[in-house]
Amino acid sequence: MANNYFQFKQFKIYQDKCSMKVGTDGTLLGAWTNVPQTGRILDVGCGTGLLSLMMAQRAPFSMIDGIEIDIDAAHQAAENKNHSKWRERISITNNNFFTWAAKWDKKYDLIICNPPFYNQGPKSSSTNRDIARQNKFFNLAEFIQTSKQILTPQGAISLILPAEQKLTLLEIADSNFVHANKICHIFPTPLKPSHRFMVQLFAEKTDLQEENLIVEINGRHQYSEQYRMLTKDFYLNI
């Protein structure tokens, strides 16, 4: 029987209660994002708590809040953080981000999110999985607007999205006076088109830095050197 957890170098993620499991997208976003070493970080839609734990590992003097709308996933994220050595720096809340943020008085130096992607297509047998995967429950424009309201002046928003949403994201960001300073286009293999991009948005506009990242070369689980270097502090066997 397969394990109900995913073992990283410095923490373990149990995921049997979560609709969305540990995947490449979340791990890449957590490893790639520029992280403030002090201050406060918010993980929106924290799921298993993966990004919250990655942020705690990378930012040893920051406090991390995770918010999750699904009660089972929130409980699991809390369990995962409680089993970690950073339990005192991570707080998990079961709530709707948009209604919660409207009443919240704290400001964040980083808001990180691996959001639901799919607004069309067949529903699964799990309502929780549909909520986790379908962005009819998550409006990107509303997310950017809400996040900006609880960011510090030097704060950043970090996201991973489908490649086809890049122009939409940039338009939304521009209309909310936040700017993409850093973008990474993700290619599954050298022969396949980019299917995801990671972006970091700031209030202050600077020159945009764009890069490409290829995940696998020469076959399944044959990871590129760039991918290995980016994730080496987290994955056990890479």
* Domain-located, residue 144: yes
Q: Which CATH number do you get for residue 140? A: 3.40.50.150
pLDDT of residue 220: 86
In tens, the pLDDT along 128-161 reads: 444 444 445 689 999 999 999 999 999 999 999 9
Cα 138 to Cα 117: distance, rounded to the nearest angstrom: 9
* Domain-located, residue 99: yes
* Domain-located, residue 236: no
* Domain-located, residue 237: no
Q: Which of 74, 234, 41 is nearest to 155 (CA)?
A: 41
List CB contacts of 20: < 8 A, sequence separation 6 or more: 47, 48, 73, 129, 132, 133
What is the reported pTM?
Answer: 0.91
In tens, the pLDDT along 220-230 reads: 889 999 999 99
Cα 91 to Cα 101: distance, rounded to the nearest angstrom: 15
In tens, the pLDDT along 189-222 reads: 999 999 999 999 999 888 999 999 999 998 888 9
CB 231 within 8 A of CB 27: yes
Say how many domains are in the chain.
1
* Domain-located, residue 238: no
Q: Which domain holds residue 166?
A: 5-231
**What percentage of the chain reaches a pLDDT higher than 90?**
82
